């Protein structure tokens, strides 16, 4: 009798476990369906993301081109001209809707019409541009408005030390190139020195004893020997790999 009762009492357990498993299966199926729908939605949203990414890339490239032009002797107005060209092309070649790119170059205490250049005597040289953009897109089914800013900055940091042997100085100049505060490679560099206050800048190209060590991380060590008294200033004029020219001056310290 007891055995029969025990047998009857446990017969429902398997069914409960089965129903639990089925419930788990149902829940996982529902979750799977939900995830599928979400991935489809993600595919739809990436289209607008891809479009924005392409426009951002074009604006960055345009800024690099304009900054390279400006720092190599071009007009400041090149930014306005180039962005007008880009905006017109984006408008013309966007068939799925109307896409308008508007730009506002930054005007602040340091930036003038979106550009800023610095060449101080403490070894810092900066060439930068900053422009804000608004993209208005209106298609058949949807409309977007994106706002973003792009900053292109090339920085050159110069540190100079020298050892003295009478009037002969062995100069070691450490140059660090940065693009948007990240280490970047140089395309070329020209070194100059000044051995008397208000004296002429003399190029080191005429010396055969100039050695350049490239550390591969945007840092370069340039060494040369010059004739100078106590006063010694160095100047570097370098192009980064984007062809942006930046100039920095530094007073050499004796070690």
Query: Pick from 26, 112, 143, 145: which binds other proteins (CB under 8 A)?
Result: 26
Binding mask 76-95 for other proteins (x = CB under 8 A): --x--xx--xx--xx--xxx
Helices 2-71 & 78-92, crossing angle to 10 degrees? 130
Among 25-33, 103-111, 137-145, 202-210, the segment contacting other proteins (CB under 8 A): 25-33
Place of tokens 């070690």: 255
Classify strands 124-139 and 186-194 as parallel, antiparallel or unpaired.
unpaired
- Locate the DSSP E strands across the chain: 97-105, 115-119, 124-139, 143-165, 168-179, 182-183, 186-194, 202-203, 211-214, 219-227, 233-240, 245-251, 253-254
Q: Which of residues 218-247 bind other proteins (CB under 8 A)?
A: 242-243
Is 54 a binder of other proteins (CB under 8 A)?
yes
Site map for other proteins, 104-143, x if CB under 8 A? ----------------------------------------
| Cα distances (angstroms) measured from residue 68 to each of 62, 150, 228, 255 | 10, 15, 35, 36
Pick the binder of other proteins from 64, 126, 234, 246 (CB under 8 A). Answer: 64
Distance of CA 109 to the CA centre of its chain: 22
CB contact at 8 A, 87 and 99:
no
| Only segment of 50-58, 156-164, 204-212, 220-228 that touches other proteins (CB under 8 A) | 50-58
Tokens, residue 56: 């951002």
Question: Measured from the CB of residue 216, what is the shortest distance to other proteins in angstroms?
Answer: 18
6 vs 53 by CB, closer to other proteins: 53
The Cα–Cα gap between 221 and 150 comes to 31
Candidates 6, 32, 77, 107; binder of other proteins (CB under 8 A) is 32
Give the binding site for other proteins (CB under 8 A): 12, 15, 18-19, 22-23, 25-26, 29-30, 32-33, 36-37, 39-40, 43, 46-47, 50-51, 53-54, 57-59, 61-62, 64-66, 68-69, 72, 74, 78, 81-82, 85-86, 89-90, 93-95, 242-243
């Amino acid at each position: 009798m007891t055995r029969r009762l025990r047998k009857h009492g446990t017969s429902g357990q398997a069914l409960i476990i089965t129903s639990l498993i089925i419930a788990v299966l149902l829940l996982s199926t529902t979750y799977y369906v939900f995830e599928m729908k979400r991935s489809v939605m993600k595919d739809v949203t990436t289209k607008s993301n891809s479009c924005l990414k392409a426009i951002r890339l074009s604006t960055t490239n345009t800024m690099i081109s304009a900054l390279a032009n400006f720092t190599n002797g071009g007009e400041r107005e090149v930014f306005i001209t180039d962005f007008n060209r880009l905006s017109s092309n984006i408008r013309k070649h966007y068939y799925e809707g109307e896409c308008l790119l508007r730009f506002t170059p930054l005007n602040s205490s340091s930036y003038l019409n979106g550009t800023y250049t610095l060449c101080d005597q403490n070894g810092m040289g900066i060439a930068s541009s900053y422009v804000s953009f608004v993209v208005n897109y209106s298609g058949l089914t949807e409309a977007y408005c994106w706002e973003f800013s792009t900053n292109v900055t090339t920085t050159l940091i110069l540190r100079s030390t020298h050892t003295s042997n009478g009037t002969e100085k062995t100069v070691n100049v450490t140059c660090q190139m940065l693009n948007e505060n990240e280490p970047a490679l140089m395309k070329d560099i020209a070194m100059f020195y000044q051995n008397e206050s208000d004296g002429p800048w003399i190029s080191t190209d005429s010396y055969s004893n100039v050695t350049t060590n490239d550390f591969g991380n945007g840092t370069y060590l340039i060494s040369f020997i010059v004739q100078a008294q106590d006063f010694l200033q160095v100047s570097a004029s370098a192009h980064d790999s984007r062809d942006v020219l930046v100039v920095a001056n530094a007073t050499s310290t004796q070690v």
